[in-house]
Structure 1
Amino acid sequence: MSKIPVTAVFDIGKTNKKFFLFDENLTEVHSSYIRLDPIPDEDNFPSEPLAPLEEWMLKTFKEALQHTAYQIQRLNFSCHGASFVHVDKDGIPCTPLYDYLKPFPEDLLARFYEENGGKMTFCRATSSPPLAMLNSGLQLYFIKYAKPDFFKKIAHSFHFPQYLSFLFTGEKVSDYTSIGCHTGLWDYEANDYHSWVDREDIRKLLPPIVPGNTLLKTKPELGNIPCGIGVHDSSAALLPYIQQESEPFALLSTGTWAIGINPSNKTPLTKKELKQDCLQFLSIKGDPIKISRLFIGEEHKYQVEKMYEHFQMPMGTYKKLKFNATLFEKIRDFRSKRIHFHYLKPEDYGIEQAISNDWSRFSEFNEAYYTFIHELTDLQLAALQLVLDGAPVAKLYIDGGFQANDIFVGMLRKKLPELTIIPSDFPNGSALGAAMLVN
């Protein structure tokens, strides 16, 4: 029996690490995933478990090469951003893969902005809201001055997707989608690295930039298979929609973060938008795309756990709930029952923030959960408006975890009646986009 030709993709999220096989029609025919516990870095802060991840990826790929039903003909990677892997002259990681939530020393951050014309001037030039470690380019500055012994060992610094490609191919490259992902590295007016990169002598650590559809080859022991250079997951998630849509549209790509993307919006960033976590990405060709970000996945996880605890409900209860218009109208009147957000800052969008949460104010779990999602979608609406203003669209696609949340989607439809809102046909959009890039 002849084997089915497939494209393999590793889709590495912050929570789930997934492996997919897509057939010639880019239909998913196989998937597997793993969750890996963080590893403490030298400061005892959780960091990405890089060694266990590499071990799982290589083992999974070698097993797939031996599969009796499938013949791997292409390989690519989609990956969460804001993460750098630094290797020594032998190509071995020489620092932890620092978590983007790790604290950045305030005095060092202040010094950096002072050296670069002030915080908001720098942020506007690089289309990067001031996010400390989430501005992944600044991690190099952090290592240089806070961890000089580590810095001396660094020969090459890879964005995470390109490190995974390097792991399989041995080739050192950079790509636009990672560089343009709120890194603080790219000067959007100059269309080149920002001047601080050369002033700190960091450009030499960054591999050459190549187009996003570049094909390399896996190492001989991994089959000499055509292999992509990896792609930032939010940029990858956009590709299937761009291919199928001829009219302007927006995408809300959800997971740990909700990323609102409007490919048609080329309007320049304002300082106010930057403060609201609105920025620009670079496309696979190096063109700017306006996006907004909201940390809704972690917020949802935190609040739901508190609700389960208070109402003594089993895990997964919210997944069984369906949108109920009557209950929605009822909770809209609960203005005295606002939710206090743990991670999000409603005040950044002109929305009132509750002082604290007292779950006993709610008569039941459903009422509390509806109130929370009502507040969350108000915030999501405000964040989306940042990319819709100036470049209106008729359709909004929602993919990722929240596209399956009937209450979240139902409330957005009520609040955005002028848009056709479509839960995505591409639930694994970032993996599919990565597969498209190498086909």
Structure 2
Amino acid sequence: MPLPRLIAVIDIGKTNAKVVLIDAETRSQLAARSTPNTVRRDGLYPHMDVERLWGFIVESLKALHAEHGVDGVSITTHGATAALMAGNRLALPVLDYEHSGPEETGEAYGAARPDFAESLSPRLPVGLNLGAQIFWQSRVYADRFAEVTDILMYPQYWAWRLTGVMANEVTSLGCHTDLWAPDASAFSSLVVNEGWADLFPAVRPAASVLGPITADVAAITGLRAGTPVTCGIHDSNASLLPHLGQHEAPFTILSTGTWAIAMTVGGDTGRLDPLRDSLANVDAFGRPVPTARFMGGREFDMLAPGAVAPDADDIEAVIAGGIQALPSFVPGVGPFPQSVGRWTVEPETLSAGQRTAAVSLYLALVTEACLGLCGLGREIIIEGPLARNTLFAAALGRLTGAKVSASGDATGTSLGASMLFGGPAGSSSGTVIAPLEHAGFDDYAERWRATI
């Protein structure tokens, strides 16, 4: 089968969902449609609005095919999410991982979950450990859980809706789930001891073609019969994929969106701290990748509403004035999970540019702390929205001494997901950002570290 050229990527982030059309030959984005990824509050518990998303997906595929043509479909989604299937329907709603329900069985789950040495997955709050979600659902909704025939990771749920074929895949299984043992490349003791192993369909490579679209999907979208669909991939690993084999290890990819996720390829998992939200992700080839993260995009939106690009005067006012944000404004995650976020000044007294400057420096300092856990690569390549924040990148370069580049691939995770079909290898490191040159920034950073 010839490689598809025009690839529609279903890219479901925690905050927004997109369908992006990628030209595989030019590695460019031709068109995109997006919608907020809303959480429904009705029913048993807060859950993902999968039917609204499905409607958005098929309408987007239909429109993109009519406008440009679609030769293949690939999928990437956020992690910590699974679909519990009873045959061809959901046995339970797709749980929102930010729901606190799994804390109800937290003590029992803590005794049942595997050690960090096995899973390389730390104990995380709410439903961020997917194993904690399934454990809670199996206890609180035992009758419904008894109907479960298959457990699908979130990318593979959408692949199933498109193809009718069920599968699983390691990047989502290995995303702080407690379900996977990365060094053994096998399901963890939790899965075995809970008797869940038979509920997981076969593990397939992310880059495999799971199947063609169903006749029903072809009819409602207009896509040709036989349009291939990939198995799919976890979104952070989609950002990582274009860079594998293209840079001298160790190197760091900083994938940004709702989360800022630092992944150091060729790094040492021995420095990971399970109490500070550092872990091993599993790349598309099944290899552990030391990772540390925090909710950088969420915090930026919280702390810098109405953000504007700061000018030199804004940056000077923030650094000279010692204006700082201190972690963490999203509790329980990141390298400072027990710290309560605060400002050193009243933020309402700042201009929009000053506030944006202070938050950009804050994100750079938290990222530096993450790199102390997952390892600092010879170079840092920033993917996603923070690649457009020049002050953040410049500050990170000054803090680490590493070469920092803002990715030239504006399509972010979507480009990586499109590469599951193959095609041209390699990725540009993007634009090199010069380190921040400000006489007072080193002292500013040292005061921040001393304060926290």
Q: With the length of structure 1 as denominator, give the TM-score of the two structures.
A: 0.85
The answer to whether residue 423 in structure 2 is matched with residue 422 in structure 1 is no
Q: Which amino acid aligns with 1:73?
A: D
1:157 aligns with 2:154: no
2:93 aligns with 96
Alpha-carbon deviations, 1:92-116, whole Å to 9, x = none? 1232211111104545111122234
Identity in percent:
23
One-letter amino acid matched to 1:102: H
1:312 paired residue number: none
- Specify the alignment match of 1:287 in structure 2: 287
**Do the aligned partners of residues 253 and 80 (structure 1) sit closer, same or farther apart at CA in structure 2, a change above 3 Å counting?**
same
**What pairs with 1:74-93 in structure 2 (closer than 5 Å)?**
74-89=72-87, 91-93=88-90
Question: Matched residues in 1 for 2:338 and 2:320: separation?
Answer: 16
- Separation of aligned partners in 1, 2:141 and 2:121: 24
Please say if residues 278 and 373 of structure 2, whose CA atoms lie closer than 8 Å, have aligned partners that are also in contact.
yes
Question: After superposition, where does 1:186-265 map in structure 2 within 5 Å?
Answer: 186-215=180-209, 216-221=211-216, 222=218, 223-242=225-244, 244-246=246-248, 248-265=250-267
Letter in 2 for 1:426: D
Looking at structure 2, the residues matched to 50 and 56 of structure 1 have their Cα atoms a distance apart, in angstroms, of 10
1:319 match: secondary structure = coil
Q: What secondary structure, in the 3-state scheme, does the structure 1 residue paired with 2:304 have?
A: helix
- The change in CA–CA distance for 1:155 and 1:412 in structure 2 (over 3 A counts) is same
Letter aligned with residue 408 of structure 2: D
1:115 counterpart = 2:116:
no
Report the counterpart of residue 426 of structure 2 in structure 1: none
Change (3 A) 1:331 1:43: same
Residue type of the partner of 1:37? T
For 1:288 and 1:412, the matched residues in 2 are separated by: 25
Structure 1 residue 428, shift from structure 2 partner: 1.7
SS at match of 1:134: coil
Counterpart position of 2:440:
none
Q: 1:138 aligns with which of 114, 132, 137?
A: 132
1:78 and 1:346 map into 2 onto residues whose CA distance is 23
Alignment correspondent of 1:303: 303
Letter in 2 for 1:34: T
* Aligned mates of 1:5, 1:354 — CA distance in 2: 47
**Once the 2 structures are TM-superposed, how far is the Cα of residue 133 of structure 1 from its aligned partner?**
0.7
Q: Measure how far apart 1:246 and its partner are.
A: 4.6
> In the alignment, is the contact (CA less than 8 A) between 1:21 and 1:30 conserved in 2?
yes
Whole-Å Cα distance in 2 between the matches of residues 419 and 355 of structure 1? 29
Q: 1:108 to 1:328 in 2, by over 3 A?
A: same
Task: Using the TM superposition, give the Cα deviation of residue 342 of structure 1 relative to its aligned residue in structure 2, in angstroms.
Answer: 2.2
Q: What is the aligned counterpart of 2:269 among 267, 270, 273?
A: 267
Superposed CA RMSD in Å reads: 2.7
The worse-fitting range, judged by mean Cα deviation, of 362-371 and 350-359 is: 350-359
1:387-415 deviation digits (Å, cap 9, x = unpaired): 22xxx532211111111122222322332
**How much has 1:245 moved relative to structure 2?**
2.9
1:427-438 aligned within 5 A: 427-438=410-421
Post-superposition offset of 1:268: 2.8
Residue type at the aligned position of 2:228: P
> Which of residues 351, 362, 381 in structure 2 aligns to 1:397?
381
- Aligned residues, how many? 409
Indicate yes or no: 2:365 matched with 1:370. no
Is 1:55–2:55 an aligned residue pair?
yes
For structure 1, the 5+ residue unaligned runs are 306-314
The amino acid across from 2:212 in the alignment is K
Quickly say closer, same or farther: Cα 1:329–1:385, change in 2 above 3 A.
farther
Q: Secondary structure at the match of 2:110?
A: helix
Distance in 1, Cα, partners of 2:263 & 2:52: 33
Residue 28 in structure 1 maps to residue 11 in structure 2: no
> Per-residue deviation at 1:238?
0.7
Deviations 1:279-335 (A, max 9, x none): 101111211111111111111111223xxxxxxxxx3xx23334x3x6545534545
Provide closer, same or farther for how the CA distance between residues 337 and 386 of structure 1 changes in structure 2, counting only shifts above 3 A: closer
Query: Taking structure 2 as the reference length, what is the TM-score of the superposition?
Result: 0.83
Flag the 1:114–1:425 CA change in 2: closer, same or farther, 3 A.
same
Q: Which amino acid aligns with 1:109?
A: G
Alpha-carbon distance in 2 for matches of 1:247, 1:406: 25
Q: CA 1:432 to 1:350, structure 2 compared with 1: closer, same or farther past 3 Å?
A: closer
The one-letter code sitting in structure 1 at the alignment partner of 2:241 is: L
Instruction: Determine if contact 2:207/2:421 at 8 Å carries over to the other structure.
Output: yes
Gaps of 5+ in 2: 219-224, 423-452
**Matches of 1:150 and 1:99, distance apart in 2:** 18
Q: Tell me by how many angstroms 1:207 deviates.
A: 0.8
Q: Which residue identity is paired with 1:252?
A: L
Contact 1:238/1:429 (CA < 8 Å) preserved in 2?
A: no
Alpha-carbon distance in 2 for matches of 1:346, 1:358: 24
Matched, 1:381 2:356: no
